[in-house]
Amino acid sequence: MIVWEYDQDFSWPENIDEKKLEKWIKKCLAQRKLSDELISINLIGKEQMRDINRQVFGRDYDTDTITLAYSEPGEKNISADIYLSYAQIFENARNLNIDEKEELLRVLIHSILHATGMDDGTDEEKQKMRAAEDRCLALFS
């Protein structure tokens, strides 16, 4: 099950909705022979994200996503709380001169991949993460 929570100021970019995203996320997980048990996706503002970053990690800076994975490595059913700072994602998109929708999808699937146990701490892990993101993005229609 995928549960969505929103900050009151958030609105989806054109041609995106929860049902379409859920279908896509499930395809990406199935590609990895995984499924969703309970994934809570929270779209929040920058201040709330900074508060979570401070409380959970002791880091006082803006970030676009925080993934709290509850599944053990190797588990087939994924459980996680995902926090996405839509304001930070859209700001990053403007700074990188890319489409906001594209950046939102990439950060969302990046977070889902973290929930599956993927990491991006080393250059090799970053390459594997980017390749997995690209495979998932290719499934979005």
User: What's the total number of domains in the chain?
Assistant: 1
Strands 65-69 and 2-6: unpaired
- The enclosing H or E element of 42 equals strand 35-44
What per-residue confidence (pLDDT) applies to 30? 95
Give me 83's structure tokens.
């926090």
Mean pLDDT of 39-58: 95
Task: Assign residue 94 the CATH number of its domain.
Answer: 3.40.390.30
Give me 92's structure tokens.
């990053």
- Give me the domain span that covers residue 28: 2-137
pLDDT tens per residue, range 85-132: 999 999 999 999 999 999 999 999 999 999 999 999 999 999 999 999
Share the mean pLDDT of the chain. 93
pTM of the model: 0.92
Q: Which residues, listed in sequence order, are joined to residue 19 by a DSSP beta bridge? A: none
